[in-house]
Structure 1
Amino acid sequence: MVSPAVNVLRYTALASGIVYGVVHRKTLQDKFDHDAARKEVQLREHWLQEAKKAWANRQKGNSGLITDPDAPGFDLEAVLKAYEK
């Protein structure tokens, strides 16, 4: 038979290991979530910068020409003349 002190020591070590594992996993998960959120913000900022660049290029290239057929100032003849060039 094993003495009661050894059994107490065994179960204490087992419980300590389980608690340590749960706490350690929680800290790792928090770090992972923080990094994932930071990467998502950076990705959205990158998309926003690309959209701003595309909008600026589109505005420069248009020279005031409205190419959206649903817009109130749309002029089909002007658009066709621009595409001929």
Structure 2
Amino acid sequence: MASQTVNVARYTALVFGITYGIFHQSTLQARYDEKKAGDAQAHRQHLIEQARTAYAKKKADEAAGVSAKKGTGLVTDPEDPKFDLEKLVNSWAESS
């Protein structure tokens, strides 16, 4: 049989190991949570930059389309109530 000193050493090692495991796991979880939050923030920033770029491009296209519309009277936006597909196709045929 094991002596009392050996049993005390075993249980002390067991308690120490469990305590260390709990603290280590909480540290790893905190790091993971911080990284996950940072990744989510970076993803949101990336989406915002994409939206800004798309919006700027759309505004530039609209500005170019407005000047072209004023010169020819041609409406190229299919959502516009004044849109006429036949006129658009004819203008494409003339330009090519």
Matches within 5 A, 1:6-85: 6-63=6-63, 64=66, 67=77, 69=79, 75-77=82-84, 81=88, 84=92
Over 3 Å counting, the alpha-carbon distance change for 1:74 and 1:27 in structure 2 is farther
Q: CA deviation at 1:75?
A: 4.1
TM-score, normalised by the number of residues in structure 2: 0.69
Over 3 Å counting, the alpha-carbon distance change for 1:50 and 1:74 in structure 2 is farther
Determine the C-alpha separation between the residues in 1 that align with 2:38 and 2:81: 42
Q: Which runs of 5 or more structure 2 residues have no equivalent in the other structure?
A: 67-74
Q: Secondary structure at the match of 1:76?
A: coil
Over 3 Å counting, the alpha-carbon distance change for 1:42 and 1:74 in structure 2 is farther
Q: Which runs of 4+ in 1 moved over 4 A?
A: none
Determine the C-alpha separation between the residues in 2 that align with 1:36 and 1:8: 42
TM-score, normalised by the number of residues in structure 1: 0.77
Q: Secondary structure at the match of 1:32?
A: helix
Q: Secondary structure at the match of 2:28?
A: helix
